Amino acid sequence: MGIHISKEARTSFRREGFVQLGEVLSKEEVEACRSRMDRLFAGDFDTGIYPDEWHWRKGISLPGAVREICNGWKSDKTIASIVLGERFGRAACELMGWPSARIAQDSIIWKPAGAGSVSWHQDSPYISKQFIPEENNSITFWCALDDADEETGVIEYASGSHEWEADRELAPEFHAARDYQQGLRRAAASAGKEMSQVNIARLLVPAGSAVAHHQNTWHGSGENKSKMRDRRALAVHVLRGDVKFVEKPGYIYGRYKLGEDDSLHDSFFPYLYRSQGKDGQV
């Protein structure tokens, strides 16, 4: 299943820092992802490989806490079959103007009924700063596995915030933050803006559809106020294909830097798409 990127979508992405896409996952793929989530968070990894991050343990963590697994594609063949397909790489190249694209990581996010918020943040401090060149080197496709709406904690974006001259830092609290908009207020102030000047888009994202956002776009989501409905999502973070490691990347990405070699190895960061020509030669 492909992702159609229209001229209007590219224009909107450049202007707003995000763009809402149509259906990117089939009903069968959505159901396949959902069917794997209980097993993944129970530690049943069909490849035998642990994910890079695993937040929430059955029988240990609070039942209503937000759950997240990063790089589930390494642990689960079903997730890998979706994440590593060409569709996200090709769409990333079309939106960002790249010749090639690799997987940076996936994020499997499960916000159960009654779960807390996800703090406003940028993806760049977590992903983009690990590589050079840093600017415009990553994009995220946030794919809904359940209908995401006002009740379940819809994803929120600050329009145009990818162009703010603001501090880029890690969120002090990521999941279930006491004040999930704290990071946004600090960024707006750093950029010389009043909150009244910030246009916050709260998008309704049906299951199977997605939103693409730039690495520097500020985004977050409120608590799941539903008593019955979960809000699950699959985020696919895509890198420009020709980036190199910075000298000292963080511990998550740094474990894949082999000695003094600053190259990204295909086993850890597989190509999703390469166009013909320079830097995209197949």
Interval 128-166: pLDDT, tens: 999 999 999 999 999 999 999 999 998 999 999 999 987
Cα distance between residue 17 and residue 19, in whole Å:
7
Q: What is the domain partition of the chain in residue ranges?
A: 7-241
* pLDDT tens digits, 27-45: 999 999 999 999 999 999 9
> What is the arithmetic mean of pLDDT over 235-243?
98
pLDDT at 78 over 60: yes
How far is the CA of 129 from the CAs of 107, 133, 198, in angstroms?
18, 9, 25
> What is the arithmetic mean of pLDDT over 11-40?
96
Cα distance between residue 117 and residue 258, in whole Å:
36
141 Cβ contact partners less than 8 Å away, ≥ 6 residues apart: 21, 24, 88, 91, 92, 210, 211, 212, 235, 236, 238
Half-sphere exposure in the Cβ direction for 172 (13 Å, CA): 10
**pLDDT score recorded for residue 282:** 37
- 35's enclosing H/E stretch is helix 27-41
**Pair of tokens at residue 18:** 């995000």
- DSSP code, position 18: E
Total-model pTM: 0.94
Assigned fold of 7-241: Jelly Rolls (2.60.120)
**Pair of tokens at residue 220:** 């977050």
Q: What is the CA radius of gyration of the chain?
A: 18
Q: Which residue has the tokens 């693409």?
A: 212
pLDDT at 277 over 60: no
17 Cβ contact partners less than 8 Å away, ≥ 6 residues apart: 157, 158, 159, 160, 161, 162, 163, 213, 214, 216, 217
